[in-house]
Amino acid sequence: MIKRRPFEYGVFEDIETVKKYDKENKQRTQRLSKSFISIVKKWEITSGKILDIGCGTGLLAIEFAKNISGVEIIGLDLSDVALEAGRDNIQKSEVMERISFKKGDAEDIPFDDNAFNLVISSNTLHLIMNPIKMFNEIHRVLKPKGKFFISDFRRSWIGIFSKHVRASYSPKEVKTFLCQSELQNWKVKDYFFWLSIFSKV
């Protein structure tokens, strides 16, 4: 297995990088949101609060708000510039009143225990220094029957060409972190390029 090479600091710091990311990710997020939302609909989550960890510019949050009309979505990110771009994005959407943003760390989530019905996260796990802490925090902020869906790159030889893949965790590492965390009732599915971690029904 190719050796992991983490990012020194995975938080967006300048507005130009954020704008470029936002532009390049609109289509990808629409595709990704379809699989997220179809699973969440199977779980029959139609109301309550959703936390999007590492929400970036809020594209996934907007898709959730558009497709599930009864939910409120809170995007969490450590980057001021990403959240600023996210606020611009929601102002242009028709779902602005159901989305808000909060600056904060995935490893130290600034919300009370049992606050959320669902936690989602896309393309962020590979930037997290201590995934066990993040999984423990997800466990803490979720309501007792709350669900989670996390999707990210998986490390493989493709890491020779992509620094994001190179920084990501292998399915085996992810399972080890999950076993060491308080999060229960999880399933990991791995694909050629991606992995997903989600609640078992």
Ligand X SMILES: C[S@@+](CC[C@H](N)C(=O)[O-])C[C@H]1O[C@@H](n2cnc3c(N)ncnc32)[C@H](O)[C@@H]1O
CB 182 within 8 A of CB 144: no
CB half-sphere exposure, 53, CA atoms < 13 A = 29
50 makes contact with ligand X (CB under 6 A): no
CB 186 within 8 A of CB 170: no
In eight-state DSSP terms, residue 118 is E
Q: Tokens for 150? A: 């996390």
Show contacts with ligand X in window 18-37 (CB under 6 A): 25, 29
167 makes contact with ligand X (CB under 6 A): no
Residues 127-146: x/- map of binding to ligand X (CB under 6 A)?
Answer: xx------------------
Q: Give the CB-nearest residue to ligand X.
A: 56
Burial of 131 (0-12, 13-18, 19+ CB in 10 A): buried
Closest distance between ligand X and the C-beta of residue 141, in Å?
13
CB 127 within 8 A of CB 167: yes
Closest distance between ligand X and the C-beta of residue 106, in Å?
4
56 makes contact with ligand X (CB under 6 A): yes
Nearest Cα residue to 52 out of 35, 33, 38: 33
What is the spatial distance between Cα 77 and Cα 146, in angstroms, rounded to a whole number?
21
168 makes contact with ligand X (CB under 6 A): no
Closest distance between ligand X and the C-beta of residue 37, in Å?
14
Q: Tokens for 45? A: 């989550």
86 makes contact with ligand X (CB under 6 A): no
Stretch in the footprint of ligand X (CB under 6 A) among 72-80, 153-161, 169-177, 185-193: 72-80
77 makes contact with ligand X (CB under 6 A): yes
By beta-carbon proximity to ligand X, the closer residue of 45 and 152 is 152
Question: Of these, 54, 131, 146, 159, which contacts ligand X (CB under 6 A)?
Answer: 54
**Continuous H helices in the chain:** 15-42, 59-67, 80-91, 131-141, 163-167, 171-180
User: Which residues sit at the interface with ligand X, rule CB under 6 A?
Assistant: 10-12, 25, 29, 54-56, 59-60, 76-79, 82, 105-107, 122-124, 127-128
